[in-house]
Amino acid sequence: MLSRVANSIYWMNRYIERAENYARFMSVNFNLILDMPPSEREQWEPLLVANADNHLFYQYFDNPARDAVLQFMSFDQRNPNSILSCLRAARENARSVRESITKEMWEHLNQVFLDVQQVSSKQGWKMDEWQDFFNDIKMASQLFYGIVDSTLSRNESWHFSRLGRFLERADKTSRFLDIKYFILLPSIEAIGTNMDLLQWSAVLKSASAYNMYRQAFRVLRPEDIIYFLVLDRRFPRSIYYCLSQAEQSLLAISDGDTKGNKAIKVMGRLRSELEFTDASEIVTSGLHEYLDDFQKRNNLVGEAIFETYFALKPVAPFNGGTQEQG
Amino acid sequence: MANNRPLALTSFEGYETGGFFDEMFLPDGTVRTECAYLYEELLQMSRKDFSTKQHAAERTLLSMGITFNVYSENQGVERIMPIDIIPRIIGGGEWRRLEEGLIQRVTALNLFLDDLYHDQRIIKDGIIPRHVIESSRSFLPQCMGLNPPKGIWCHITGSDLIRGDDGNFMVLEDNLRCPSGVSYMLENREILKKSFPEVLEKVGVQHVSDYPTRLLDMLQYLSGKIAPTVVVLTPGTYNSAYFEHSYLAQQMGVQLVESNDLIVLDGQVKMRTTRGFEPVDVIYRRIDDTFLDPLAFNPESLIGIPGIFEAYRNGQIALANAPGTGVADDKVVYAYVPRIIKYYLGQDAILPNVHTYICEEEDSRKYVLEHIEQLVVKEANEAGGYGMLIGPKSTRAECDEFRKRIQANPRNYIAQPTISLSRVPTNIDGRFEGRHVDLRPYILYGEKVEVIPGGLTRVAMRKGSLVVNSSQGGGSKDTWVLY
């Protein structure tokens, strides 16, 4: 398939996944606030910091108050990661590859964008309206994947879709965990208290992992939660699961021709390191540091994919000629 | 205001043909036979049902993303071209004559192009002056001696036809430079299958849905290979016709490429894929001639593919349409088309031209300058309703401005009498009113020349307006050609 088309399909999926996860971040913070005792201050800044949106935010706002953060993360066009910006980018990518995706994929995405664009100008949102909105975004994204799964042939388009979706999801799951690092407890003594565990369960809920975690472990223990979200082999939002799925698609795209393939090398190395890591090692090395390092290496996988499949280099292919840079 | 009683029926009460040729009614107000069934059906329909159908059609266009970008507005402004769900109906007999006329015209134009870029017999024989050709902006000297695959230059033509007061079809212009609009023809029919399924079934309408198949057959025919790789080349998502490029590629099941996807390696055109470079055999290109190749044409072009013209000359690739066809679109050359048909085919033109004053000829120019208020003046190389003056609808100052322009550069202008285009009933805020229309049928030139039975009917939605271009607020209708 055309490199440009592969690139657009990959990014279309990354942006949809990103929009969904932004809705998850905000939705769970709402839940958390409602569970907190009234003496506790609302904390919205951790959402910005965990997603590295804080620098941009403070260019336009002084105070990370609820409405400012929600508007900024949902609709602000100056924020390239806001839900509306992500959906616009996803739709623009889809628009440029309509002939390579299915009619149903395009029409759904187009409609979701038009709907969100329409509500984005609304003022005076109530809490329940925000909650409905986040839920709609999550459902729209889930429906999109359902449409992809049930209409798209298992060809390269499909595998580049999965690649984008799972790499983005791995990144975002690491950020759900990182939020826990940034949300402040009132004091050091609060570690291990009910309030601490409340925050951990909010992290699980962000990733729709609460029920599956309970089935696997029953008791809420930070180290088990870290295991579940980073290393679990079967949970579909764990970082390990996402990477192994992405790797499978990468292998399918290469069709057995893996020699000298940088994307497969970088991806395989990262995935296998996770495979032989224990949760206790992560805790010992420091959760935040571990996640930070993972995010950087996950980005390197993205860069390797770009170089291997998307970069438009005019290379003379068959006559053993030299490589030129475009 | 619309009548809001739920069961009120639609009605033609107060409908006026206004002295124009009306495609549904005879001058005495009786319904034309080919429209009788549709008319009866409309009379039985409640206003509420009708407006539900109209809204459903518009919603469909929006959610399918059938939008176009408007030049001279902010980039990224998307609009739908309004669809009016009352179809325009053409009888089978009349269509057959049109078909014959269009085949004759396109056959002659193809011979003309081949002659122009080879021996130029038509100039030597004194039929058309040399300077008319050589001063045409769309004449490409680079194409001299070019032999396009199978000798075909104009693979896809979308001539604009109008009916005057007497109802006879005339050719207003020939569009041989990748005409757009065919996606509307296809989607409008899909929409009307939902709006008027019973009527479509009862009256018997020729289908247009195999257009993508016919287009692909034609494109494949251009290559010598058994299973050639065909692609559609688009300037990109910001082009006003982007939806159509993508739609046609999708319908044909071929790749839609941008120029960056293509590269010429060792004289062969290849596309960049995730598995390296793959050869391309036929390109249905929707970018202008002079942007195709910065090495051969406009060196400023950022959307071109360096070396593609050379590959084309060497027969490594087929392009549809061939570069250089635009010269036959020149509005001055247009005036010569009846003579071109006579010269190459020895026949009289079946479809007449609109009478055209060539401003370069002194008598004509004098007439035009004196009667400009009654005429339509057009620039030779413009399209899309730009660069024209409609005398009767223009101010004195506008007329004076065009007088000056004509005197400064007479070669660049022609004038035509103002034709009061025929009208078709159109839904205007819940009432039916006559609106002016034209017709763009599509002609494919492959193994043989064929006319698709249908086309794009463009309608000037503004009351009294004669400008049907989508860029100027025009809408469209489905075109029903009966058996």
B237/A317 touch (CB, cutoff 8 Å), yes or no: no
CA-based end-to-end distance of chain B: 38
The whole-angstrom distance between residue A195's C-alpha and the CA centroid of its chain comes to 26
Query: Which residue shows structure tokens 């050719």?
Result: B171
Confidence of residue B241 (pLDDT cuts 50, 70, 90): confident
B257/A106 touch (CB, cutoff 8 Å), yes or no: no
Answer for the pair B157, B174: CB distance below 8 angstroms, yes or no. Answer: yes
- Give me B102's structure tokens: 């269009």
Handedness of CA B210, B211, B215, B221 (dihedral sign): positive
Question: For the segment B18-69, what is each residue's pLDDT rounded down to a tens digit?
Answer: 889 999 999 988 999 999 999 999 998 888 899 999 999 988 888 887 776 6
A171: exposed, middle or buried (Cβ count in 10 Å: 0-12, 13-18, 19+) = buried
B257/A156 touch (CB, cutoff 8 Å), yes or no: no
Report which of B162, B163, B180 is spatially closest to residue B172, judged by C-alpha positions: B162
Collect all residues of chain B within an 8 Å Cβ-Cβ radius of residue A111: 63
* Spatial distance between the Cα atoms of B45 and B33, rounded to a whole number of angstroms: 20
- Give me B125's structure tokens: 């024989």
Handedness of CA A92, A98, A100, A106 (dihedral sign): positive
Residue of B nearest to A305 (CA): B274
Answer for the pair B437, B20: CB distance below 8 angstroms, yes or no. Answer: no
Degrees, nearest 5: CA angle B326-B329-B331: 135
Return the amino acid letter for A154: R
Degrees, nearest 5: CA angle A56-A59-A64: 80
Highest mean pLDDT: which range of A237-251, B7-21, B453-467: A237-251
* Spatial distance between the Cα atoms of A186 and A199, rounded to a whole number of angstroms: 12
Which of B64, B261, B263 lies nearest to residue A4, judging by beta carbons? B261
Rg for chain A, CA atoms, rounded:
20
Tell me which of A48 and B238 has the higher pLDDT.
A48
Other C-beta atoms closer than 10 Å to the C-beta of B347 total 11
Which of A99, A110, A253 lies nearest to residue B249, judging by beta carbons? A99
Query: What integer pLDDT is reported at residue A24 of this predicted model?
Result: 94
- Give me B296's structure tokens: 């051969």
Which of A2, A107, A156 lies nearest to residue B255, judging by beta carbons? A2
Say which range, B73-87, B100-114, B304-318, B375-389, has the weakest mean pLDDT. Answer: B73-87
Which string of b and e fits B234-273 if b means at least 16 CB within 10 Å?
bbebebbbbbbbbbbbbbbebbbbbbbbbbbbeebbbbbb
Rg for chain B, CA atoms, rounded:
23
Question: For the segment A77-113, what is each residue's pLDDT rounded down to a tens digit?
Answer: 999 999 999 999 999 999 989 989 999 999 999 999 9
User: CB-based contact (8 Å) between A31 and chain B?
Assistant: no
Tell me which of B12 and B3 has the higher pLDDT.
B12
Binding-face residues of A in 76-95 toward B, CB within 8 A:
92, 95
- The conformation of residue B394, written as its DSSP 8-state character, comes to S
Which of A6, A114, A317 lies nearest to residue B276, judging by beta carbons? A317
Answer for the pair B265, A316: CB distance below 8 angstroms, yes or no. Answer: yes
Question: For the segment B207-216, what is each residue's pLDDT rounded down to a tens digit?
Answer: 999 999 999 9
- State the greatest distance between any 2 C-alpha atoms of chain B, in Å, as a whole number: 71
pLDDT surpasses 80 at A164: yes
Residues with Cβ within 8 Å of residue A148, at least 6 apart in sequence: A105, A158, A161
Other C-beta atoms closer than 10 Å to the C-beta of B148 total 26
Residue of B nearest to A108 (CA): B63
User: CB-based contact (8 Å) between A35 and chain B?
Assistant: no
The whole-angstrom distance between residue B444's C-alpha and the CA centroid of its chain comes to 13
Confidence of residue B77 (pLDDT cuts 50, 70, 90): low
B250/A98 touch (CB, cutoff 8 Å), yes or no: yes
Residue of A nearest to B235 (CA): A96
Mean pLDDT, all residues of chain A: 90
A4/B237 touch (CB, cutoff 8 Å), yes or no: no
Query: What integer pLDDT is reported at residue A264 of this predicted model?
Result: 94
Query: What integer pLDDT is reported at residue A111 of this predicted model?
Result: 93
Kind plus residue range of the DSSP H or E element containing B89: strand B83-90
Question: Any idea which architecture B95-176+209-345 has in CATH?
Answer: 3-Layer(aba) Sandwich (3.40)
Q: Are strands B255-257 and B230-233 parallel, antiparallel or unpaired?
A: parallel
A2/B249 touch (CB, cutoff 8 Å), yes or no: no
Query: Which residue shows structure tokens 């390797």?
Result: A304
High-pLDDT (> 70) share of chain B, %: 95
Query: What integer pLDDT is reported at residue B75 of this predicted model?
Result: 43
Answer for the pair B337, B122: CB distance below 8 angstroms, yes or no. Answer: no
Kind plus residue range of the DSSP H or E element containing B389: strand B388-390
Which string of b and e fits B391-402 if b means at least 16 CB within 10 Å?
beebeeeebeeb
Degrees, nearest 5: CA angle B116-B118-B120: 50
Confidence of residue B339 (pLDDT cuts 50, 70, 90): very high
Residues with Cβ within 8 Å of residue A157, at least 6 apart in sequence: A1, A5, A6, A9, A100, A101
Degrees, nearest 5: CA angle B393-B394-B395: 135
Domain extents in chain A: 1-152, 153-312
Pairs of residues, one from chain A and one from chain B, whose beta carbons lie less than 8 Å apart: 71
What are the angstrom distances between the C-alpha of A46 and each of A17, A291, A304, B398?
20, 15, 30, 63
Helix (H, G, I), strand (E, B) or coil at A244: helix
pTM over 0.90: no
Question: For the segment A123-134, what is each residue's pLDDT rounded down to a tens digit?
Answer: 989 988 999 999
Tell me which of B25 and B78 has the higher pLDDT.
B25
Answer for the pair B479, B456: CB distance below 8 angstroms, yes or no. Answer: yes
Report which of A93, A138, A131 is spatially closest to residue A237, judged by C-alpha positions: A138
A110/B65 touch (CB, cutoff 8 Å), yes or no: yes
User: What average pLDDT does the segment B176-181 reach?
Assistant: 91
Helix (H, G, I), strand (E, B) or coil at B424: strand
Residue of A nearest to B251 (CA): A99
Query: What integer pLDDT is reported at residue B385 of this predicted model?
Result: 63
DSSP string, B31-73: BPGGGHHHHHHHHHSBHHHHHHHHHHHHHHHHHHT-EEEPTTS
Query: What integer pLDDT is reported at residue B429 of this predicted model?
Result: 84
* Spatial distance between the Cα atoms of B320 and B289, rounded to a whole number of angstroms: 11
Query: What integer pLDDT is reported at residue A297 of this predicted model?
Result: 95
Answer for the pair B434, B22: CB distance below 8 angstroms, yes or no. Answer: yes
Kind plus residue range of the DSSP H or E element containing B435: strand B431-440
- Give me A111's structure tokens: 């409609």
Report which of B125, B119, B41, B56 is spatially closest to residue B87, judged by C-alpha positions: B41
Answer for the pair B295, B306: CB distance below 8 angstroms, yes or no. Answer: yes
Answer for the pair B156, B175: CB distance below 8 angstroms, yes or no. Answer: no
Q: Residue length, chain B?
A: 483
3-state SS, one letter per residue, for A48-106: HHHCCCHHHHHHHCCCCCHHHHHHHHHCCCCCCCCHHHHHHHHHHHHHCCHHHCCHHHH
User: What average pLDDT does the segment B283-296 reach?
Assistant: 93
Confidence of residue B1 (pLDDT cuts 50, 70, 90): very low
| Phi then psi dihedrals of residue B432, to 5 deg | -95, 130
Answer for the pair B115, B121: CB distance below 8 angstroms, yes or no. Answer: yes
Helical packing angle, A3-35 and A156-182, nearest 10°: 30
A96/B255 touch (CB, cutoff 8 Å), yes or no: no
Answer for the pair B141, B297: CB distance below 8 angstroms, yes or no. Answer: no
Report which of B309, B225, B318, B296 is spatially closest to residue B267, judged by C-alpha positions: B309
User: CB-based contact (8 Å) between A326 and chain B?
Assistant: no
Answer for the pair B187, B473: CB distance below 8 angstroms, yes or no. Answer: no
User: What average pLDDT does the segment B206-227 reach?
Assistant: 95
* Spatial distance between the Cα atoms of A105 and A107, rounded to a whole number of angstroms: 6
Residue of B nearest to A101 (CA): B250
- Give me B54's structure tokens: 């109209």
Residue of A nearest to B60 (CA): A107
Fold of B357-417: Dna Ligase; domain 1 (3.30.1490)
Helix (H, G, I), strand (E, B) or coil at B277: strand
Domain extents in chain B: 95-176+209-345, 357-417
Say which range, A196-200, A247-251, B102-106, B346-350, has the weakest mean pLDDT. Answer: A196-200
What are the angstrom distances between the C-alpha of B279 and each of A98, B96, B475?
22, 41, 40
Collect all residues of chain B within an 8 Å Cβ-Cβ radius of residue A4: 258, 260-261, 272
Residues with Cβ within 8 Å of residue A258, at least 6 apart in sequence: A251, A264
User: CB-based contact (8 Å) between A317 and chain B?
Assistant: yes
Helix (H, G, I), strand (E, B) or coil at B107: helix
Question: For the segment B149-161, what is each residue's pLDDT rounded down to a tens digit?
Answer: 999 999 999 999 9
Which of A92, A309, A316 lies nearest to residue B237, judging by beta carbons? A92
- The conformation of residue A236, written as its DSSP 8-state character, comes to T
* Spatial distance between the Cα atoms of A224 and A204, rounded to a whole number of angstroms: 11
B254/A99 touch (CB, cutoff 8 Å), yes or no: yes
